[in-house]
A and B are shown apart, each in its own frame.
Chain A
């Protein structure tokens, strides 16, 4: 829009310049033609009719006639008079410009009055006695002669005046030309200024409108085209009005859309809520299935073995086997207790209603890991043909809760072992900035990105983990995370993907009692 207006302005400017030049050229031409005309006319008259000479001759002949008023002298004088009369006639016909005519009127009048006076002089000479000529040399008549002489001088003076006048005219025309050029400049400037302001007047509202529309395009609709635009009586005003109407309807539509969207949002929230409930129910159902299965297994074993005692069949077994069977009942009941404990732990840790009390002790983590491994895992590692090693850069000793920490390490080792066969589990220990850092690295089934995302959630089980060990409750990692949080620590997991092993990293701080508040 703006560039179009600019090009229009440039076009207008060039047209104006062209008009200016054309006008200038014609004015200059007219000036020179006119002035040259007067100059030529005057020169022609003066040279052709030899006015100065004729006037001098007239005076000479007049004086001669006075001294000797013969018809020959009279004739000579009349020839000169006729020349002047012709000159005046030509002056009338050849100078057509009215201004110039006025300017030359003085010259004509002077010449005429000289002619009239000389004629009067001649008449009085002719009327008087020729012998009385001398009387004309008297003081009284001297004036008369003096007048004649003076008149001739006056004619010459008038001619000079005429020439000066002609120069003045030339200057006047030059000044006129300059004035015309100035006027032309002013006109062009004025036209330019007018056209610019006019263009601005047109473009300003258009620019304003385009600004408004680009603001709208950016998504901001809480604006108006402005009162000044609406007041415009031309097409711009109409455009602004329809623009404003469009804005209003746009706003209304957007508001309606927003309302609809809000409603949808609410519905969506409700749906999400419902989904959460359903998801929760699904999880609970799954959880119940798993727990059910897990609880039933030791119950089956316990019932089965107790049946031997109820029926007395235990007697069919040697005493050592009987002891083993009794131990199996205890193992089954321990399993049952273990499952119930995890459930309770999970529920307690999740609800966090109960204040969790920590029992702080100085713990050497390396010793703790070795203890846990030897007591609970050594045999199982051998069964899984998996090696175990501890690398300790520094031996971290921290103030923390031994039971929690034991459970955390135990859970992580159990987890590593569950998914690692014929592999390796490495525990790395370090101590940095008052934090014990425990890395438990295995070469097991690894974790996918989606597994990692849900790993520490309740009932979460990795896809691969389910296949390898379907009986897991999905509570282990959840409980572990919660316990790490109780100790103000952090737990993270790294895995490059399926079958590439997993590394659990826990950071446990030297316990600070004020952090517990």
Chain B
């Protein structure tokens, strides 16, 4: 039984609930895996999590995120909050084996290009992907990177 610890970065509560339910509902199909869910709702809580806690096995990352606290990280425009998290993960040795799936509704080639350039391991459009497909991708990426807890 391999445990995959997922950090789900998403500001929309409805989508966080949906993903939790997806893991609960569809997780049973992946008999060799155990899914652990952690969430972060904005830039600030994401940074705190990544700094303080052990590296997760995979990160599902929304791009458009609130900063979380006024006054901090002012230099980062909201559209780039997700990019900032992606950049942190991809430049820190701590997350060498942590794949990141960008999970967004910003459906354009430019955004995808930037994400790939920074080092995203996957790029998925929220409204086009079914929860089960996301779970599939998570398992495949975790396997490829041998990223398990």
Contacts and interface: CB of A to CB of B under 8 A. Distances in A.
A293 B25 contact: no
A11 interface: no
B26 A313 contact: yes
Contacts of B107: 292, 296
Interface stretch (A219-227, A363-371, A466-474): A466-474
B127 A300 contact: yes
Interface stretch (B50-58, B63-71, B115-123, B139-147): B63-71
Contact of A304 (B22, B65, B106): B22
A509 B2 CA distance: 67
B3 to A, nearest CB: 20
Interface stretch (B9-17, B31-39, B84-92, B93-101): B9-17
A468 B105 contact: no
A471 B11 contact: yes
Given A466-B78, A467-B67, A316 B25 contact: yes
A316 B20 CA distance: 13
A466 B95 CA distance: 29
B78 to A, nearest CB: 4
- State the main secondary structure of chain A at its contact with B: helix
B136 interface: no
A471 B13 CA distance: 13
B74 A297 contact: no
A475 interface: no
Given A297-B15, A470-B78, A325 B21 contact: yes
A324 B64 CA distance: 27
A93 interface: no
B2 to A, nearest CB: 21
A307 B24 contact: no
Contacts of B81: 470
A297 B78 contact: no
The CB with the most chain A CB atoms within 10 A, among B28, B125, B126, is that of: B126
A124 B64 CA distance: 167
B124 to A, nearest CB: 11
Interface of A: 289, 292-293, 296-301, 303-305, 307-308, 311, 313-314, 316-317, 321, 325, 328, 331-332, 335, 445, 464, 466-471, 499
16 contacts: A293-B106, A297-B127, A303-B130, A307-B130, A307-B132, A316-B28, A317-B24, A321-B21, A328-B14, A328-B17, A335-B14, A468-B67, A470-B64, A470-B81, A471-B11, A471-B12
Task: Give the 6 A-B CB pairs with smallest separation, nearest first.
Answer: A470-B78, A296-B105, A296-B127, A313-B25, A300-B126, A467-B67
